[in-house]
Structure formats: structure tokens, C-alpha cells
Amino acid sequence: MSQLLDHDLLARLGAIPAEARVPMLGNVAGKHRSPHRGSSVEFAEYRKYVPGDDTRRLDWKAYARSDRFYIKEFEADTNLRVYFVVDNSGSMNFSDKGISKIDYARRIVANLAYLFVNQGDAAGLSVCRDTLHIEIPPRRRPAHLQLITHTLESLEPKGETGLVAALHAVAEKVGQRAVIVILSDLFCDTPALEEALQHLRYRKHDICMFHLMDPQEIAFHFDRPHRFVDMEDNTTLVVEPNLISDEYQAALQEFLVNVKVACHNVHADYQLVTTDTPLEPLLRDFLLNRLPKKGKR
Amino acid sequence: MSFYQQPLLWFLCAAAIPVIIHLLNRRRHKTVQWAAMQFLLKATRESRGKKKLRHILILTARALGIAALATAAARPMIGGLLGWGASQVDTVVFILDRSASMETTADQASQSRRELAIDRVKDAMKSLDATKLVLIDSATSTPQDIPSPEALAEITNTKASSAAADIPALLQRAAEFILETKPGRTEIWIASDMQYADWDKDSERWATTRASLASTPQKTSVRILSLSTPSKSNISLSILSSHRSSDDLLLDLEVIRSGDSSSALNLPLTIALNGTKTTDSITIPGQTLRFQKRIKLPKDQVEGQGWLTLPSDANPNDHTVFFTYGAARPVKTLIVSAAGEAASYLAASAAPPGFAGQSSETIAPSQFLTKVNSLSDYAAIIWSAPLPDEGMTLPLNTFLTTGGHVIFVAPQENSTSTFNKIAWSPISTAPEGKFFILKNWNHDDGLLRDSLSGTALAGQTMKAIKRQIPTAPAGTFSTLAAWDDDSPFLTRLVMERGTAWFIATTPNYTWSNLGDAHLLLPALQRAVLAGSARFDSALLADVNRGDALPRNNETRTRIDDYIIDQKSDATFSAGVYRLGERVIATNVPVSEHEPLSIQKAELESIMQGVSYRTFEDTSTTSTASEEREIWKLFLAGVLFFLIAEALLCLPKPVKDSPTLANQKPKAI
């Protein structure tokens, strides 16, 4: 088994179902709500009988009360497809003291994929640099997990971010509704990112965003002049961090707000994550937050 | 501003340390791979301005703090001579202007400018340990070692004098002293009231002085203590000339009034003649009054002396004049001319019948050599003949160099002879119906100058039919009047104490209307009087100049009864003195009465290339401008800069460590 998987963690989180927030269109029966009516035990609604309906589904008790024919309908349960879109650009390789953003993303993807597959859902993987360069279609087989984890382990972050183009490509390629889990530092043009998310939303996908940041990128704590080398295009800049820390924080705050607003506009499940955050509470909160509220399904 | 511990000023270089550290710190940066470059770029763009300014201010505060500390350690001083002079030198050559004008007391002051200057230098020298003081005073011009600053006020050479000061000569003397004795690091301090005449900006000595100062082994700097504070109302009296005419003594006097001169002022004039005092009064209508005082001389006394004085005022040294007189000498003029109309006019103009005992004698040119031995008795010689030959030139030159005046008029005949390279041109005649007309003449100088009252002579009436122009190599003589075609009418050749004049026509009606006396009479009278002045000049002199100086084996005794001030140096006081067998009255030079000061631009011009500083001492007491140490001020400055630096460096309110929890985006 891959080292990316934390079995204790998976054992503790296994009891929490991984849900989608929108009805899914699966090809087999599963645990997830479908937009279609089906044969589950979950009552959906009454509707008037029309000729041609199966008379076995007539609610005779309702006919006895109202002298009218009603068909009793139930929810259909299906499985879902989850697509993990991982940013593999150079900036994802950054780490100050702890693990890099790409390592953190690997662990999230591997463990979530395990949880989804384990409950009968299909998991796929898309990896992008300047373009979408790895695509693993979603499968329900447990053996498929090995392919995903092997692919994750082999990732080498480099190049510039092509996340926006990759998301547009995913939106075009994934025809049926799916859960799209994006893991990136989002160092790209925010308005363009919002357009890509709108595209996904238009395709009725359930979007989850793991915005990965290194703690040092947020704190920006340096005590002397540094020569900063851009990890994507090798641009260099010599600055005195003390002099520009306020402006840096202001720019960062503006960026974070813009990203959050963009995700909010598309009803995406946004998570700002620093790489020093323990994985278990992060995934537990993620799963719990996705559970349907009481009385809703 | 100057410093007690000047070497400590090297620590000012330490002010560069914060900047150097900053630059070094920038160079030893660490290289890091960075992902969030877009925020860095944006922050860098936006941080230019306020932050940089703050950083520059911090660096500046640090640098200034260190500089202020170094300055305080060097013990800075300001005020008075401290700012003016105190510094690390081995020798100070102190040039003291103790001319008559330095005795002026400034408004609301109790001391004269000279006394103030001495006090300033005394105080400044106390601050300079082991610095040698050498005095060169304006009266003696002799370097003198001063054992201690305290002695400055006591020695004779710093006491008041009535002489003028020759600052360029004194400065040159100081430079020579430095070159001769090589006294190490030397500064020249000049204390002066900056009087225009004393500084004599046109003096040819300045070039030599500057060169001498430049050639000193260690570059000598000059510090000038300017004591030109306006004085109280002051009235000065000066004697321009004295002339005995029979039993009268004619004194040309001038009164200059400084301060408020808007209204006329009536003053008593005390006259002492051979011990007998009388009082007269004079009215000064404006700023200046020139008048002639006629003093009736006792008939039984051939010679005598006396003085005139005005009431004492801001300067006790400039309101008394002294005079002496001897037996009246006849004013005789020798006319060398062939008999004729011109000779008659010349004789009448040189000695009008019955006027002031003047007389003239006309001789033919051939008789001139018979008069050679008695030429010194004549005030002037009028030469209306071809220029003298070699035999006559020698006695004429002697006559001229001893103060006589010779007037050459056109000889009315062509000749090739010359006198000191000057020759007469051939006779030229004006075109028919036209005249040579006098067009320009000098109204301020020469025989045709305006009168004392400012009235111009009637030169425009001068016309000539014939003329002979004096010719000479360029620069031989100066032209004081010219015809309408710019050829000279009146020229002058100065020969030591005497003057030769050349008039380009003659008082003959076939030649010109010069005989009408509009010009001829005043011109010849002026020449004759100037020539006769040498008989009286031996009786009147400026203090410390010319005839006032004792000649070989002459002893000097004061014979007037004027009571001199104890502050004065008797050797250089105005008065009447017997020098051997001669008696002479010495007075404050007229130039000392001029209130004009040398301007800054003029000072810059004459001190060009010399390192000099000027301190304007406007105080009126000896303690007013004493030096004050101001190191405390600089320590306060250090404190101020350190506090400013601390305030600028204060960190902003500490924010919580940015974690995921507190870095949530702001509310949408």
C-alpha cells in the first residue's frame, strides 16, 4: 500500500460518509441522491396517475381516502464520480520548514480517494502544470486506487500554473455530474479562475476547493534582506522583507478575499489550508460539512 | 564655530557607519526559492515612498546622532572670537589697525573699536594653549612678540594713534615675517574697522601680498575681525592746507558729520594760537562743510603754532587739527619768453598786480641759465619759447622733482627740440572762418578743474586760430583737456613732486582768445599756488608720513600745549613737533575721516585665492561676544536623534501569529 495513505486516519474517518452536495448521476446504485426517481426506501413525493404507469405503484390507501389515483414515488440512490484536480506547477513545491504543498495535496487526494472508492464511488485524477498533462478516469475498483497513488507519488512540480485552462478542460470533458476536488495554491489570475469555476458550475459539478498555502507564505517572516527566486519562472527580486511586510500582507489579504469571493459565487466548498494543519481534523471537518443538514437529503 | 579638540572631529567619519552597515547588509542577502512572487512584486511596487522615506529617516537619524556625538566631543564653541578664531595653530600674527578711525566708539558702547578688538583677541588667545602671539600694529608695522595675551592692552604698540593704516602693507609684512621665521601653523588675524582708505583696494601691493601668502610653507589663513558697527554721532575736523599770506594764516578746513545730518548744527570752534585760546562758532548745514579759516597772526611773531578743536564726540582723535607757520615767503613766477603780447598776458595772469604779494619776472630764453641757482625761490616757471635744450633741461628737471610747476605754452615757432620726450608739433591753422574749439576738459582734476564751490570754468569760450599740439610716445603724459578734434589742449607730466603742464596755444590774439582770462588766470594761479605749496608743505604733514618722520639725527619734541589722552601713543599722536631745527604740525590723515567701508565684494576681490574668514563683531562691550561652549546643545541633539530613531523603529502593534484561524479572509 502507498505511504500516502494513513490507515489510522482512514479507520477513524471511515464511518463518515463522503457525500455530494448536489444530486449525482451514477451508473450503478449507490449511496448518493439521484435527480431521478427510483426504488429506494426513501419516499420522495406523490403524483397523479397517468395511463401507462405501473399499477403496482398505485397508493391504494391514498385512493381510499381521496378517491383519486396517486402514484407513490421514491428517491433513486446512485454512486458518484469524484475528480481530483491537482496543481503540479513549480510553486506547489514550496516548503519553508514542513512539507511542501504538493506533498500535502498528495496526502489529501490519496486519503479522500480511498474513502470515496471504499464507499463505492469512482475516483479519478487530473494533474496540471501549464496544461492538463495527466488524466486518470474515475473507476470504482479498489485496484484503481493504486494507480492514483502511484501517479501522485511520481509527480514532479515544475513550470507555470495552467490551472485555469485545466479546469476549463475538465469542465468540457466530464459530461456527467461529478464532485471536482481542486488542490492548488491558486497563484493565477483570480478573475480567470472564477470564470473556470463558473464553467464547472454550469456543468452542474459539485466543486471542492482546497486552497493550499505554506505558513511562511502567510506570515512572511524574514529578518534580513533576501533574494527571492520565483519557483515558476526564476524571476529574482532582492528585497528587505521588513520594509514591505505590510504591503505584502495587504496584497495577500486581497488575494484571499478575492479567491473566497470567487468560490462563494459558484457555491464551491472552499477550504484555506496551510501545510502545517493536521490532516485528520481537516478531512473530518470536510466530510462532516458535506453531510446533509437534518431533515434534508 | 570652532573646536577645542579639533582632532576629535575625525570621528565625524563614524557617521557613515550606519549607512555602510546598511549597504553591507543589503549585499549579504540570502537566496530563497519563493512561490508567492505575485504578492512580493505588488508589495515592492507599493512600498516605494513612505516606507523608504521612513527608512532613510532612520538612517539619517542614526548618522546625525553619531555626528552630533563626535561634534560634542570636539567641544564646539560659538560667539565672539571663538567662532572667529580659536583653533589649533602654533602662531597667531595679529595685525592691529590702530588708525585714528579705530578710536571711534560704537553707538551705546563704552570702549573704542581698538579696545574691543584687543579684548576679543585677548580672550581668544586665552583659549589657545601654547600658541605664540605676534603683534604687527598699523603705526610701526614691526612684528613684536607678545609674551602673554594680558600684555596686549598694556604695551605701547596697541595704544591709540593718529596715523592711517596701510592694511595691504601690514599683510605683506606679516607674510614676510612668516616666510622669514617659519613659525609653523600660522594664522593672521586682522582687527580693523574696514575703512575704505586703509584697505586701499586699488593698491598694487595686494598682488604681492597674495603671492607672499600663497608661498608660505603651510597655507596661512586670514581671519578678519570687522569692527564696523555704526558709531554715535561724530564730527571730524581735518586741515586740507595752510598758507601764510602776509599777516594772515589761511587754513582750508573740512568738517565731516556722521549720523543725523538733516538739520544744521552750530558748534563752537576753539582756536589756540601760540597758547592763546579763542572761541569761534561754525554752522554745519549738512554732512560736509569745507571752509577757509583766516587767522590773524601777531605782527611780532615770525613763526608759531596752534590748534583748532571741536567739542569731543564719538572719536576723541579726529576733532582736533594742528598747524604751524613760518615767515611768509614771496610767491614768485619766472616767465621765460621773448617779449611780446603773450609774455604780457602770462605775466599778468601769473601775478596780478597787487594780488597776495605775488610777483613775476620775465626773461628771454637765453638768460635762463643765469637763473639756475635761484630757481628754488620760484613757485612756478612759465615757458613760452621753444623747448629747452639739454643744458637747460637738467635744472628744469631738478626744479620739477623738488615740487615746482612748469607751464609750457605753445612757442609760436616750429622747433624739433624735445623735453623729456615731449615735442611741439608744427603750427597748425584753423580753416578760413573756423576755429579750434575747446570741447572736453577734466572737471575734477588739473588746472581747469571746477572751483571749490563746484562752478565750472568757462572752457566753452575758448577758441583758437592757431595751435601747436604737444606730442610724445603713448603714455608719456595724460591729457586733461582736448580740442573738438580730440587732439590735446592741456596735458600733464608728473615728475616726482612737481608737474610739467603743456598748453597747446598761446595768449596772443593772432593765435587764440586764451588771454581773455576765462581760463588763463585760474589755470596759472592754480599752477603757481601748487608750486608755492611746497614752501608751506614743510610745515604740515600727516602723522607717521613723509616730513613727519624724523630725519638723520633729528630729535623729536612736542611743542604744542594740547593735552593728549593717556590712551594715546605719544609717538604717533597728532600735534606740533620740533624735529631738529624744523617745526612741523602733524595731523590725522584726511582719509581717516571718510566714513566709507570696504564692501564684501571688494574684500573678496582683493583676497582672491587667500583663505580668509570675516567675523562681524557687532557687540558693544568686551564681554558681549565671549565664546560659549555649546557641546551640551550637541548632546541634546544626540538625544533627540536617538529618540527620533527609536520612535521610527518602533514596531507596529504586534499581530497574532498568522495561522489559518486568524488569516480567514475578511467578511464578504
Closest to B52 measured CA to CA, from B652, B659, B654, B648: B648
Contacts of B29 in chain A (CB under 8 A): 224-227, 238
**Could you tell me if B363 and B454 lie in one domain?**
yes
Q: Judge: B51–A187 Cβ closer than 8 Å, yes or no.
A: no
d(CA B46, CA B43): 5
Mutation target to probe the A interface, by most A beta carbons within 10 A, among B37, B54, B659, B662 is B37
Q: What is the mean pLDDT of residues B562-569?
A: 78
Phi then psi for residue A91, to 5 deg, are -65, -20
Contacts of A226 in chain B (CB under 8 A): 29-32
In a domain, B661, yes or no: no
d(CA A14, CA A147): 21
Could you tell me the residue range of the domain that residue B452 belongs to? 335-535
Q: Judge: A231–B659 Cβ closer than 8 Å, yes or no.
A: no
Contacts of A219 in chain B (CB under 8 A): 657-658
pLDDT of residue B616: 77
**Could you tell me if B160 and B139 lie in one domain?**
yes
**Could you tell me if B515 and B574 lie in one domain?**
no
Q: Judge: B660–A259 Cβ closer than 8 Å, yes or no.
A: no
- CATH classification of A80-290, choosing from 3.40.50.410, 3.30.9.100, 3.30.360.10, 1.10.10.60? 3.40.50.410
Q: Judge: B35–A239 Cβ closer than 8 Å, yes or no.
A: no
- Residue matched to cell numbers 592694511: B167
- Angstrom distances, CA of residue B538 to CA of B309, B327, B403, B585: 22, 12, 11, 9
pLDDT of residue A5: 86
Percent of chain B past pLDDT 70, that is, above it, reads 92
d(CA B407, CA B651): 96
**Could you tell me if B299 and B431 lie in one domain?**
no
Instruction: Single out the residue in B535, B557, B578 at which a domain terminates.
Output: B535
The pLDDT profile of chain A, 297 residues, written as one tens digit per residue, is 568 888 888 888 877 877 777 766 656 556 666 665 565 556 667 788 888 888 888 889 888 999 999 987 766 566 688 899 999 999 999 988 889 999 999 999 999 999 888 887 888 999 998 887 888 998 888 888 899 999 999 989 988 888 999 999 999 988 788 889 999 999 989 999 999 999 999 988 889 999 999 999 998 888 878 888 988 888 888 888 887 888 899 899 999 999 999 999 988 989 899 999 999 999 999 888 887 765 544
pLDDT in tens, B9-39: 888 898 899 889 888 877 777 888 888 888 8
d(CA B625, CA B609): 29
* Distance to chain A for B640, nearest Cα, Å: 24
In a domain, B268, yes or no: yes
pLDDT in tens, B454-475: 789 998 899 999 999 999 998 8
pTM above 0.90, yes or no: no
Dump the DSSP string for B316-369: TTSSEEEEEE-----EEEEEEE-SSHHHHHHHHHHS-TTSTTEEEEEE-GGGGG
Q: In chain A, which residues fall in CATH 3.40.50.410?
A: 80-290
pLDDT in tens, B418-456: 999 999 999 999 999 899 999 999 998 899 998 877 789
**Could you tell me if B584 and B610 lie in one domain?**
no
Contacts of B657 in chain A (CB under 8 A): 219
Contacts of B41 in chain A (CB under 8 A): 237
d(CA B585, CA B562): 12
* Distance to chain B for A232, nearest Cα, Å: 7
- Kindly identify which residue of chain A lies nearest to residue B667, measuring between CA atoms: A257
Contacts of B37 in chain A (CB under 8 A): 187, 228, 230-232, 235, 237
Closest to B379 measured CA to CA, from B409, B354, B402, B411: B402
d(CA A240, CA B56): 13
**Could you tell me if B422 and B501 lie in one domain?**
yes
* Distance to chain B for A186, nearest Cα, Å: 10
Q: Judge: A225–B29 Cβ closer than 8 Å, yes or no.
A: yes
Dump the DSSP string for B455-506: PPP-GGG-EESEE--EE-STTSSEEEEEETTS-EEEEEEEETTEEEEEESS-
Size of interface A-B (CB pairs under 8 A): 126
Question: Pick from A217, A244, A274: which is nearest to B660 by CB?
Answer: A274
Contact B489, B497 (CB under 8 A): no
Question: Pick from B30, B46, B659: which is nearest to A226 by CB?
Answer: B30
Question: Pick from B25, B44, B51: which is nearest to A237 by CB?
Answer: B44
In a domain, B420, yes or no: yes
- Per-residue confidence band for B664, with pLDDT thresholds at 50, 70 and 90: very low
d(CA B495, CA A183): 113
Q: Note whether ipTM > 0.95 here.
A: no
Across B280-284, B333-337, B589-593, B611-615, the highest mean pLDDT is recorded for B333-337
pLDDT of residue A194: 93
Q: Which has the minimum average pLDDT: A196-205, B196-205, B531-540?
A: B531-540
In a domain, B523, yes or no: yes
**Could you tell me if B288 and B339 lie in one domain?**
no
**Could you tell me if B520 and B375 lie in one domain?**
yes
Burial grade of A242 (CB within 10 A; 0-12, 13-18, 19 or more): middle
d(CA B327, CA B166): 35
Contacts of A232 in chain B (CB under 8 A): 35, 37
Q: Judge: A230–B34 Cβ closer than 8 Å, yes or no.
A: yes
Q: How many domains does chain B have?
A: 4
* Distance to chain B for A153, nearest Cα, Å: 21
Percent of chain B past pLDDT 90, that is, above it, reads 30
In a domain, B256, yes or no: yes
Q: Judge: A251–B663 Cβ closer than 8 Å, yes or no.
A: no
Q: Judge: A230–B44 Cβ closer than 8 Å, yes or no.
A: no
Q: Judge: B39–A92 Cβ closer than 8 Å, yes or no.
A: no
**Could you tell me if B255 and B219 lie in one domain?**
no
Question: Pick from B28, B34, B666: which is nearest to A229 by CB?
Answer: B34
Contact B392, B490 (CB under 8 A): no
**Could you tell me if B241 and B212 lie in one domain?**
no
